[in-house]
Amino acid sequence: MKMVFLGPPGAGKGTIAARAKEAYGIVHISTGDLFRAAIKNETELGKKVKAILAAGDLVPDSVTIEMVRQRIAQPDCEKGFILDGFPRTVAQADALTGMTGLDAVVNFVVPKEVVVRRLSGRRMCPSTGRIYHIEFGPPKVEGIDDETGEPLIQRPDDREETIVNRLEVYDRSTAPLIDYYRQKGLIVDIDGSGSPQHVFELMDAALKAL
Ligand code: AP5
Ligand code: MG
């Protein structure tokens, strides 16, 4: 199964992808996670994109498209993948069409007030990227990753000013992809406002009905 997860920041793309990857035995490719790993490892790519992510702006299409092209050419993607956070512009979507076919584009629909609450309470394990929420999905011990024992961090782009910009960037550049993929008959709309388990079950049923 080859899928794209679409939805605003905080819609739960990463949270649902973590479950779907286990359930379907496919690869989870988050462009945001790839950029954050590059920043952490201080690679050339990381140096180039650090300020862009901190501001909540988009990394240039050329850079992002090339990174995804290389990633989905890896043998582990043959059985299928979830692209989480890519494409985010029409140019990226056109480039993706040239790289691979898709079975579905899952569009997670979540009201703005909910995504803001989710983002401001999100915490993350710095080495694995595992996601928590201080209210909706807390770790067993406050501030500590359940498996690695590392202190959890807040993503630098989860500060309030940056959240506002990310939501604007989403409306301007990424939301048009909903119509783009609807015209291709690929969109599966999912109400993303319930619990992660409920959202996963809604998606699983919708995908099985395709
Ligand atoms: P990226 O990492 O993709 O961030 P994003 O799209 O803003 O999405 P998020 O990761 O913030 O949200 P999510 O939907 O994954 O939600 P999550 O599951 O964590 O991109 C970061 C940056 O990288 C971009 O701003 C850009 O600079 C750059 N970039 C990335 N891709 C790019 C591209 N293609 N082109 C150009 N630039 C690119 O959930 C959020 C919180 O809510 C968590 O705390 C979670 O525990 C909680 N939660 C989730 N689901 C539920 C639920 N059902 N109920 C209750 N709580 C929930
Ligand atoms: Mg994410």
CA distances from 46 to 10, 39, 49, 92 (A): 23, 4, 5, 20
CATH of region 2-208: 3.40.50.300
Clarify whether 19 is annotated catalytic: no
Instruction: Give, for ligand 1, the residue of 16, 28, 31, 200 to mutate: max count of ligand atoms closer than 8 Å to Cβ.
Output: 31
Identify which ligand lies nearest to the alpha carbon of 118: 1
Radius of gyration of the chain (CA): 16
Q: pLDDT tens, 134-171?
A: 999 999 999 999 999 999 999 999 999 999 999 999 99
Q: Is 183 exposed, middle or buried (0-12, 13-18, 19+ CB in 10 A)?
A: exposed
pLDDT of residue 102: 98
Distance from the alpha carbon of residue 194 to the mean position of ligand 1, in angstroms: 17
pLDDT band at 12 (very low <50, low <70, confident <90, very high): very high
Rounded average pLDDT over 196-210? 97
Residues 6+ apart with CB under 8 A from 95: 61, 65, 69, 87
Q: Is the CB of 132 under 6 A from ligand 1?
A: yes
pLDDT of residue 101: 97
Query: Using an 8 Å Cβ cutoff, are 105 and 122 in contact?
Result: no
CA pair distance 6, 92, nearest whole angstrom: 13
User: Is pTM, for the whole model, over 0.85?
Assistant: yes
pLDDT of residue 64: 98
Clarify whether 40 is annotated catalytic: no
